[in-house]
Chains A and B, each alone.
Chain A
Amino acid sequence: MGEQILKSTRRAYGEALVELGERNERIVVLDADLSKSTYTNLFAKKFPNRFFNMGISECKMISCAAGLATTGKIPFASSFAVFAAGRAWEMVRLSVGYTNLNVKIAASHAGISVGEDGPTHHCAEDIALMRVIPNMTVLVPADATETKKAVFASAEWQGPVYIRLGRPDIPIIFDDSYDFQIGKAYVLKEGKDVSILACGLMVWQALQALELLEKEGIEAELVNVSTIKPLDEETILRSLSKTRCAVSAEEHNIIGGLGSAVAELITEKLPIPLERVGVKDRFAESGPWKELLKKYGLTPEDIKQAALRAIERKEKGGLK
């Protein structure tokens, strides 16, 4: 893995928007006084007449984006995840979900890696909130490359999309040849002992966990589940029928997110042991983001321990 180039997914989003804006006149962008943090300011600079700063009013922003969509525009609306998915939730449900309009919501500062701003600005609930809305597509890109491709794919996709973005600079995992499709999960490394299903910055953590597990003689399979909804059941079930046990890893509450989506799938189609790595149904706190990942159980070591537990349960016949 060596020296890594770092970039935040929010910055990749801002850069991708500029490219999109050049290619497609119908792209319009909305923000709610956070354009420097979401990097929609890059688009604003280039296309000032297609950028609308709503002021600090996320609810209005979402319904306004829906109105724009009815006139044939492709709106991308951005704020922090806690405000876009949280505060404006019912607007997302009705104005975007129920109407099934062509609105893209790109929310940055998701998870707890927001860091020092603290729990009021963290958001470990947005995957759950967005996934439960009918018609909504939910994307959680793992790095800057995947983000850019996810943004382009969202613009082509007809209907509501939620794109989850992060604040910190994280390693770029994929090169430009990476093929991204909405609705597809990607096996990044094959293995036979346990499947690690990860999304967002936990893909990077999982890559490091693979090395730790290798030292213990365990061959884990890593699947990047960047589309949480619609879930790529086929790829996931193929992996699980081989390894017969799994770990989910997400920077989200263990309730309602990727781990829950996988649990829903396997209880119906392939009951096998699943261990969920995520924030354990509590609010985090202010602190440097890497220290938070450690304190709240989101490190490679946490993934490794979960993998060992999953394998142990498999060997004991699935029961704890």
Chain B
Amino acid sequence: MNEKVKELQIIATQIRIDIIQMLVQAGSGHSGGSLSCADILACLYFSIMRHNPKDPHWKERDRFILSKGHACPALYAALAEAGYFKKEELLTLRKLNSILQGHPDMNKTPGVEFSSGSLGQGFAAAFGMALGYKLDKNPGRIFVLLGDGECQEGIVWETAMGASHYGLDNLTAILDYNNLQIDGKVSEIMEIAPIAEKFRAFGWTTYEIDGHDIEQILWALSPERIVEGKPTMVIARTVKGKGVSFMENEVDWHGKAPSPQEAERALAELYKQLEELKGNGRADS
């Protein structure tokens, strides 16, 4: 396993540790969907994206929009890790006067590109950003992360149609396909499959990957995967609650924060994973 992959695994695990620490401190928030996208965020902020934490408004930066805004603990952890703000801020999540709102706020948090939390809107805003970049001949890429439940919103399909109509090959969407929403399994509440076929029918290039496999994520998000004149959809198969055994695939961990005891158990597991990664050069695979 190469060094870069291991480094990203370590960052992803650190993001998961931060998520648990933030949520237990806040006493509320979304555990499952934050943990499920940690590997994707690690790859974006620490390998794929061209961005500058010291200059968050750099004109030609790549942008990331968290359309599934409730997973913002993962985003805040990645931003802090990247240096957009001090890590101490993480522990103010959801408290009065914090720069870290319960859902992303572009006017309060450095590095947050768009205010989201009402599902679907971030995707359409990302579409607008990609249009703006095209008009300006800006070489930056726009990345946006969607939930699978989120794809039940009509605006997602209105946007899918719009982005391909305008040939926005600077737009890459990633679907956090964990097959859980709040009320149950996505496949039981309101089926979205076959999702790749749907996006292809809407004119997108699609890739299906394991959303916890760093090499696959890097491969799918690489500029080489872009097909000229088409937006890209990366369907990432994920496990909600990934990394914490008792949260994995458990619907009840969607909108719940761990108690101090649960956090202790979760952190013990995550620190063990971190140690294994740091300890030997051949962790996992």
List chain A positions with a Cβ less than 8 A from chain B: 31, 33-37, 41, 53-57, 59-60, 82-83, 87, 115-121, 285-288, 291-292, 295
Given A33-B189, A36-B182, A56-B181, decide whether A286 and B98 contact each other with a Cβ distance below 8 A.
yes
Residues of A close to B69: CB separation below 8 A: 120
Please give the distance in Å from B156's CB to the nearest CB on chain A.
9
21 A-B pairs within 8 Å (CB atoms) are namely A31-B183, A33-B190, A53-B183, A56-B119, A56-B150, A56-B152, A56-B181, A57-B154, A82-B118, A116-B27, A116-B28, A116-B29, A116-B94, A118-B94, A120-B69, A120-B117, A121-B102, A285-B96, A286-B94, A287-B96, A292-B96
Please give the distance in Å from A291's CB to the nearest CB on chain B.
5
Interface centre among B28, B97, B119, B183 (most CB of A within 10 A): B183
When chains A and B are docked, how far (Å) is the Cα of A295 from the Cα of B182? 31
> In the complex, which of the residues A55, A82, A87, A286 contacts B102, with contact meaning CB atoms closer than 8 Å?
A286
Interface centre among B26, B27, B29, B153 (most CB of A within 10 A): B153
Residues of B close to A56: CB separation below 8 A: 119, 149-150, 152-153, 181, 190
B118 touching A60 by the CB < 8 A rule?
no
* B100 nearest CB neighbor, chain A only: A286
Ranked 10 nearest A-B pairs via Cβ: A55-B190, A120-B117, A55-B152, A118-B102, A287-B96, A286-B102, A116-B94, A118-B101, A120-B103, A117-B102
| Known pairs A115-B28, A285-B98 / 12 extra A-B pairs, C-beta < 8 Å | A33-B149, A33-B152, A34-B182, A55-B149, A55-B152, A82-B118, A116-B29, A117-B28, A119-B101, A120-B69, A121-B103, A288-B96
Residues of B close to A34: CB separation below 8 A: 182-183
Please give the distance in Å from A283's CB to the nearest CB on chain B.
9
> In the complex, which of the residues B103, B105, B189 contacts A53, with contact meaning CB atoms closer than 8 Å?
B189
Residues of A close to B115: CB separation below 8 A: 120
Please give the distance in Å from B27's CB to the nearest CB on chain A.
8
When chains A and B are docked, how far (Å) is the Cα of A37 from the Cα of B29? 14
Interface size for B (C-beta < 8 A) is 30
A286 touching B95 by the CB < 8 A rule?
yes
Given A118-B101, A287-B94, decide whether A33 and B183 contact each other with a Cβ distance below 8 A.
yes
The answer to whether B232 has its CB under 8 Å from any CB of chain A is no
A291 touching B96 by the CB < 8 A rule?
yes
The answer to whether B179 has its CB under 8 Å from any CB of chain A is no
* A120 nearest CB neighbor, chain B only: B117
The answer to whether B116 has its CB under 8 Å from any CB of chain A is yes
When chains A and B are docked, how far (Å) is the Cα of A118 from the Cα of B189? 26
Residues of B close to A118: CB separation below 8 A: 94, 101-103, 105, 117
When chains A and B are docked, how far (Å) is the Cα of A285 from the Cα of B115? 13
When chains A and B are docked, how far (Å) is the Cα of A87 from the Cα of B150? 14
B96 touching A295 by the CB < 8 A rule?
yes
B183 touching A35 by the CB < 8 A rule?
yes
Please give the distance in Å from A119's CB to the nearest CB on chain B.
7
Interface centre among B102, B116, B118, B181 (most CB of A within 10 A): B102
Please give the distance in Å from A85's CB to the nearest CB on chain B.
13
When chains A and B are docked, how far (Å) is the Cα of A295 from the Cα of B97? 10
A121 touching B117 by the CB < 8 A rule?
yes
Chain B, residues 20-36, CB within 8 Å of chain A (1/0): the string is: 00000011110000000
Residues of B close to A121: CB separation below 8 A: 102-103, 117
When chains A and B are docked, how far (Å) is the Cα of A34 from the Cα of B189? 11
When chains A and B are docked, how far (Å) is the Cα of A115 from the Cα of B27? 12
Chain B 151-183 interface residues, beta-carbon cutoff 8 Å to A: 152-154, 181-183
Please give the distance in Å from B76's CB to the nearest CB on chain A.
12
Please give the distance in Å from A79's CB to the nearest CB on chain B.
11
A116 touching B117 by the CB < 8 A rule?
no
Residues of B close to A55: CB separation below 8 A: 149, 152, 181, 189-190
